[in-house]
Amino acid sequence: MPEGADEIAQAQAILTPTLLALQRRIDGTFVRWAAERSAQEYQVPAFIAAHELARTDYLSSFPHLATFAAALDSEPKNVAAFAQRECVNPAGEIQATKLEPLRYVLTPAACYHFYAHLKHQDLDAPRYLTTCATCFRREASYRPLERQWAFSMRELVCIGSRDEVVAFLTDVSTEIDRFVAQIGLPVAWADATDSFFQPTKNAKWWLQRLEPNKKELVFGDGLAIASINYHRTYFGERFCITRDGQRAFSGCIAFGLERWLSAVLRHYGGTPETWPAAWRE
């Protein structure tokens, strides 16, 4: 094994049957909350086209987090040249020949697909949506379950009028509070900002500080296991989505499933008998 090269691979936890079952029960709670609010469940793609994502300024705001899907230029001589060389060097690095132009970004947040999907639509009622997607974010360092390059994100999303979105976020937030109190999970809400690149140079980061629109549910000594995000008309404007002719508002609640798993294991221990009743069987 090349030194250090397996660090990220090891931080991509394989979930054993017991932990996978627990993660599914945790997710089942969020899916139930979604269903109780008539949210429709979708499966979203693994990639988002760069030109769609560009509408959101994601790549200029979070360039350090993005992962691109790269492949060899398909010209046969180029592929043959790769196949004939040592494809992976002793440091674990792929010795790529010429790459195709990069056009796709591995999903950075599950809900982006929904705004692209509803582009140029006028909604005559609020839309409630949910999905669970593998999301990709580069980090300075990795830790299994808690800080993975790729992780599972469950999102509950509302797109509608200002009142509809605010009511939805408030309602789900109350549901979360009730639930964590019931199971006794030690968490607290905190104002948060997104992880902008060079934040103090970014007007959007300053705006988030002045008009907070993101709260994180923090477990223990700083593990954010959920976030509530009020986008105002940011995505409505960029994807030309309206609600009865007016620019649509949107908001989402995101749950990092592997982090919930870690929080449960850290707080209740590794044996199923001590997990919250709702997640035991």
Residues 174-233 that bind its own copies (CB under 8 A): 197-198
> Closest CB to its own copies among 2 and 270?
2
- Residue 151, amino acid: F
Query: Taking the complex as a whole, how short is the minimal distance between the CB of residue 149 and its own copies, in angstroms?
Result: 7
Beta strands per DSSP E along 103-248: 104-106, 122-123, 127-136, 150-160, 187-191, 214-219, 223-232, 242-243, 246-247
Among 32, 77, 98, 103, binds its own copies (CB under 8 A): 103
Q: Closest distance between its own copies and the C-beta of residue 188, in Å?
A: 29
Interacting positions 3-22 with its own copies (CB under 8 A): 5-6, 8-9, 12-17, 20
Check residue 79 for interaction with its own copies (CB under 8 A).
yes
Residue placing its CB nearer to its own copies in the complex, 102 or 207 = 102
To its own copies, the closest distance from the beta carbon of 184 in angstroms equals 27
The vertex-19 CA angle with 192 and 176, nearest 5°, equals: 35
Under rule CB under 8 A, residue 92 binds its own copies: yes
- Assess 136 for contact with its own copies (CB under 8 A): yes
Q: Which is nearer to its own copies, 212 or 270 (CB)?
A: 270
Tokens 């691109």, residue located: 68
Please report, for residues 47, 108, 119, 197, 235, the alpha-carbon distance to residue 103 in angstroms, rounded to integers and kept in the order given.
10, 14, 20, 21, 21
| DSSP one-letter code for 135 | E
Whether residue 67 contacts residue 136, with contact meaning beta carbons closer than 8 Å, is answered with yes
Q: Which residues pair with 129 in a beta bridge?
A: 40, 157
34-73 positions binding its own copies, by CB under 8 A: 40-54, 59-61, 63-64, 66-72
Among positions 27, 31, 37, 96, the unique one binding its own copies when judged by CB under 8 A: 96
